[in-house]
Amino acid sequence: MTSGCPHLPPKPPSRPERVSLWAYAKLFRADILSAQPAKLYRAWMAEFRTPFFRSFLINQPELIRTVLKERPDDFPKSNRIAEGLRPLLGESVFLTNGAQWKRQRRIIDPALEGGRLRDTFPSMHAAALACVGRLTARAGEVVEIEEETSHAAADVIFRTLFSIPIEHQIASDVFHEFRRYQKSKPILNIAAFLPLPRWIPRGFSKETRRSARKIWALIQSLTRQRQDAILEGTAPDDLATKIMTTVDPQTGAGFDAEEMVDQVAIFFLAGHETSASALGWALYLMALYPECQECVADEAKEIGLEDFSSVARLKIARDVFRETLRLYPPVPMMVREAACPETFRERAVPEGAQIVISPWHLHRHERLWENPDAFQPERWQGEEGRGIAREAWIPFSAGSRVCTGAGFAMIEGHLLLAAILRELRVELAGDTPRPVAHLTVRSANGIHLKISRR
């Protein structure tokens, strides 16, 4: 599908090998991707030292397996990164550790088990058709596609979570306020670099704090309305109802009202922001590789998208989406903390050290992938590609903390991609996008594509 194409998808520039700690902190705060040296695409492990902590980036599959799969309790999520997300996500399952996290997962996981994906398909399909309708109305125009994919992904979340379309006033308000929140907040704050007590302000801007409060209040309004409907027996059987009525099998207790708002906030962030990022890059890649785009469109026309079983037959669209997640993983880095002294590659890792697992570098690692910077969805059709993926493809993390919505995201991603390309063609327009890390991997100046009818 892509053989012979001279293009390579865009990749951020790497920083010089040696810079001062101050320069590195400034680069890191501005964009976590271009702050990294090129050697990380070849190294199995790299150590970084600051006056306040040490961090180790690990790319060796055996080490990643130890941290994520074999001994996750010894490497809990780092509070340094959690501090930057706490204004919006509170004590959600994305940030917590230990017994609190395990309790939350026992309640949340049943909501997204296999059978629930089939139940949510009609809502996903309706959101896909609505997205195609919006884009069709703009045929002939140059569109900033990340805005459109954000709209579509938010629509999916509100339809599947609360059975309301994005046009619903509260849903629309949350969507637009979240875009303001994303633009106002850097991926890291001062607590990522300095060991601050909890009582010291974290340096969030007024805009960030105001947006977080407004989003939280809007989601609180939705959850209270749903709790009332559950008590009255009029609530729809959607994801929100499932989460609110599920109890911890060990304690018999469910989420209280405040906890529920935190969990809905992470569903919105994880289920909307990450999907929007991946779909935007997938559509850009389809414009960059028009031959592959035609293959996706032809497959979608032949198979159709009318029922859940049809999505499983969209093999080309699925491989394109997998390859997009390899090149542009929405969450570029995950940070764990060593809860006890450790030894990695004959090097002492002290207690409290930050363990960085970077899907961005792992997915493009020169010692693991053939042609790592090339877009080659056909690599997923062979056993070699699938074998490497088992060790070195972790867009949704891995092990016990794997994203509970991974199956949901994969179905949503290639369904929306196929639905759009079945009816519309996308072409390159504007400057080449430059990937940067905000809350997810986005383009620094947007992704501009021309939309036309087929």
Q: Residue 178 is part of a domain; what is its CATH number?
A: 1.10.630.10
d(CA 170, CA 22): 42
Q: pLDDT (tens digit, 0 to 9) for every residue of the chain, 454 residues total?
A: 664 455 789 888 876 677 666 666 676 666 778 878 899 999 999 998 877 778 999 999 999 999 999 999 999 998 766 666 666 677 788 788 999 999 999 998 887 775 578 888 999 999 999 999 999 999 999 999 999 999 999 999 999 999 999 888 888 888 888 777 766 555 554 445 445 445 444 455 677 778 778 888 888 898 899 999 999 999 999 989 998 899 999 999 988 888 888 888 788 777 788 899 999 999 999 999 999 999 999 999 999 898 999 998 999 999 999 999 999 999 999 999 999 999 999 999 999 999 999 999 999 999 999 999 999 999 999 876 778 888 899 999 999 999 888 888 999 999 999 999 999 999 999 899 999 987 789 998 899 999 999 9
Q: What domain range is 201 assigned to?
A: 21-453
- Residue 198: inside a domain, yes or no? yes
| DSSP per-residue codes, 64-80 | HHIIIII-GGGSPBPHH
For residues 176 and 218, the answer to whether their CB atoms sit within 8 Å is no
Per-residue pLDDT at 89:
72
0.85 exceeded by the pTM? Answer: yes
242-270 pLDDT, tens per residue? 988 999 999 999 888 888 888 887 887 77
116-163 pLDDT, tens per residue? 788 889 999 999 999 999 999 999 999 999 999 999 999 999 999 999
Burial 276-298 (b: 16+ CB within 10 A, else e): bbbbbbbbbbbbbbeebbebbbe
- Residue 2: inside a domain, yes or no? no
3-state SS assignment for residue 381: helix
d(CA 71, CA 150): 35
Q: Which residues pair with 398 in a beta bridge?
A: none
For residues 193 and 316, the answer to whether their CB atoms sit within 8 Å is no
Residue whose structure tokens are 């902190």:
25
- Residue 9: inside a domain, yes or no? no
The β-bridge relationship of strands 354-357 and 54-58 is parallel
d(CA 284, CA 144): 11
d(CA 353, CA 126): 46
d(CA 279, CA 270): 14
DSSP 196: -
For residues 94 and 275, the answer to whether their CB atoms sit within 8 Å is no
For residues 7 and 373, the answer to whether their CB atoms sit within 8 Å is no
User: Distances in Å between the alpha carbon of 408 and those of 153, 178, 257?
Assistant: 12, 21, 25
- Residue 12: inside a domain, yes or no? no
- Residue 6: inside a domain, yes or no? no
- Residue 393: inside a domain, yes or no? yes
- Residue 10: inside a domain, yes or no? no
Per-residue pLDDT at 257:
80
- Residue 304: inside a domain, yes or no? yes
d(CA 158, CA 126): 12
What is the phi/psi pair of residue 15, to 5°? -80, 165
- Where do the H-state alpha helices sit in 328-437? 359-362, 383-392, 406-423
Per the structure, the count of domains in the chain is 1
Per-residue pLDDT at 167:
86
250 CB burial (10 A radius; 0-12, 13-18, 19+): exposed
Q: Where are the beta strands (DSSP E) in 328-387?
A: 334-337, 342-344, 347-349, 354-357
Per-residue pLDDT at 260:
85
